[in-house]
Amino acid sequence: MPEELTVYFSRIESSPAGPLLLAATEKGLRCLQFDRGKLPIAASNERWIESRERLEPYIGQIQAYFRGELRAFTCKLDLIGTKFQKDCWEALLRIPYGKTCSYAEIAREIGRPQAFRAVGQANHDNPIAIIVPCHRVLGANGTLTGYGGGLSTKEKLRRLEGAAFRLPGSAPQPGNGNNKDDGVERQAEFLY
């Protein structure tokens, strides 16, 4: 019988991205998701315990990100997934703050250039929203595409980071188009 694993969890009731659920093991953050009132299904050897104290280091970094004070997360992660998913998530972690890429670019980066749809599915299955920044992935034409927190949340996160993107069916946003810094200083439209 496998050893019982303790997973600590807590919630952020209000954030610019809505309510958030965080969970961590001794190895690091295991889950950051848009809270819909239910805990993820625990594995048979897991015991979930609510502990704001255990999640405070992660909560502090998320709050600093929303205030515009943090551009690179330093917290440990406990990513659980297939090798392909982990390769995709590791590629997401290399996308700098304020920058974007496409699913096809990630597929090429991980050595699977034809797997852009599978990359999209791996993004969909990303257990650590915001920190593993699938919100930085756009469609091939630079438009916002599906996001677990909804397109409006993805748009808010993109605006917070001052990144280039287009809304579906719209012209490029001012300063956008080539995903390079246009020298225009931007300020977050919302603060935590």
Distance CA 114, CA 23 (A): 33
Distance CA 35, CA 21 (A): 5
Q: How many CB atoms lie under 10 A from the CB of residue 73?
A: 20
Reply yes or no on whether 134 is catalytic. yes
- Point out which residues pair with 24 in neighbouring strands: 8, 29
Please tell me which residue in 31, 88, 101, 134 is annotated as part of the active site: 134
Distance CA 136, CA 155 (A): 10
| DSSP H helices in 35-171 | 52-66, 83-93, 103-109, 116-124, 151-160
- Say if residues 42 and 25 touch (Cβ distance below 8 Å): no
114, HSE (Cβ side, Cα atoms, 13 Å): 0
Strand, helix or coil for residue 151: helix
> Which residues are known to be catalytic?
134
